């Protein structure tokens, strides 16, 4: 498999997202790290293809998030593990430390934070990974491991949307969470398969939920609607060019009709860490 790659200039990528540039309207990849409050941006061209990496240069622009509370902008990093964006260009980051959403303006300024309440808050394996924005101010996140679960959060007392094709926030629409300081866990789903030992990022596209697992080095696909326990429909092993090296942990995923299938690698080395696997899902 031929893999096109870029160096994002972020060594420990922990999540990938896709948004429309508020000025140009073109799609762009955004990447976060659990060690820094800088966001990397890689813009696509008019045909939604990522621009080639110039020789000897890093392709991504970097933006330091402004106005963060002191407890997030401190040594050791913010422990950000998932990122998504809405139709207005607003960025939403999932923080593992404290289980929260951090809302950023389209210009990457801090707006507010929202606590995510769930039953594993005191568990050492409670860490939330991956983020998908849903309609009606709801979000979907994943409990990373032991056990792996998908969790829907929304205002307390509301009905869950569920794992259905229409759950995702429609393209071009603004994400409108309630003014409340926290969201409750409204629903959770376990997995019928035991070969997905971790979930590190998710992407909801065309009636399918895609999940990347660094532990199994593969992408899994779930057909929607889905009920618990959730069954994986097909799997795509990641190529050796992506997973080579002991420190190569795949932590980011985008599956999109425009830009294709992208994965990002958490690596401690200065190397290419964003990889385009193809323009579409290859498994029937």
What's the confidence (pLDDT) of residue 138?
97
Give mean pLDDT, residues 42-53.
70
What's the confidence (pLDDT) of residue 56?
47
Give mean pLDDT, residues 51-63.
67
d(CA 73, CA 62): 16
- pLDDT 10s digits, 218-250: 999 999 999 889 999 999 999 988 877 666 789
What's the confidence (pLDDT) of residue 48?
64
Q: Hey, what CATH class is 4-278 in?
A: mainly beta
Could you state, in order of their start, the residue ranges of all structural domains in the chain? Answer: 4-278
- pLDDT 10s digits, 115-174: 999 887 655 555 799 999 999 999 999 988 888 999 999 999 999 999 999 999 998 899
Give mean pLDDT, residues 183-193.
93
Query: Residue 269: which pLDDT band, with cuts at 50, 70 and 90?
Result: confident
pTM, whole model, 2 decimals? 0.93
Total number of residues shown for the chain? 284
What's the confidence (pLDDT) of residue 264?
94
Considering the chain, what is the average pLDDT of its residues?
A: 88
The answer to whether residue 180 scores a pLDDT higher than 90 is: no
- pLDDT over 90, % of the chain: 57
CA atoms within a 13 Å half-sphere pointing along the CA-CB vector of 57: 9
Residue predicted with more confidence, 75 or 82? 82
The answer to whether residue 259 scores a pLDDT higher than 70 is: yes
């Amino acid at each position: 498999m031929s893999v096109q790659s870029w160096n994002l200039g972020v060594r420990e990528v922990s999540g990938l997202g896709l948004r429309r540039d508020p000025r140009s309207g073109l799609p762009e990849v955004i990447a976060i790290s659990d060690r820094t409050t800088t966001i990397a941006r890689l813009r696509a061209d008019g045909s939604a293809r990522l621009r080639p990496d110039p020789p000897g240069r890093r392709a991504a622009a970097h933006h330091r998030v402004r106005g963060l509370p002191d407890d997030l902008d401190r040594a050791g990093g913010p422990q950000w593990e998932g990122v998504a964006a809405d139709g207005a260009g607003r960025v939403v980051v999932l923080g593992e430390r404290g289980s929260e959403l951090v809302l950023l303006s389209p210009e990457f300024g801090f707006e507010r934070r929202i606590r995510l309440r769930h039953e594993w808050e005191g568990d050492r394996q409670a860490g939330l990974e991956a983020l998908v924005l849903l309609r009606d101010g709801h979000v979907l996140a994943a409990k990373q491991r032991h056990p792996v679960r998908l969790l829907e959060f929304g205002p307390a007392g509301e009905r869950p949307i569920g794992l259905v094709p229409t759950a995702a926030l429609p393209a071009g629409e603004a994400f409108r969470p309630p003014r409340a300081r926290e969201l409750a866990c409204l629903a959770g789903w376990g997995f019928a398969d035991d070969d997905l030992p971790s979930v590190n990022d998710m992407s909801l596209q065309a009636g399918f939920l895609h999940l990347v697992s660094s532990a199994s080095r593969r992408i899994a696909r779930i057909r929607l609607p889905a009920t618990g326990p959730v069954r994986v429909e097909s799997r795509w092993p990641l190529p050796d060019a992506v997973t080579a090296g002991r420190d190569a942990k795949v932590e980011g995923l985008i599956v999109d009709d425009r830009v294709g299938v992208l994965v990002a690698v958490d690596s401690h080395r200065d190397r290419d860490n964003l990889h385009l696997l193809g323009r579409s899902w290859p498994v029937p």
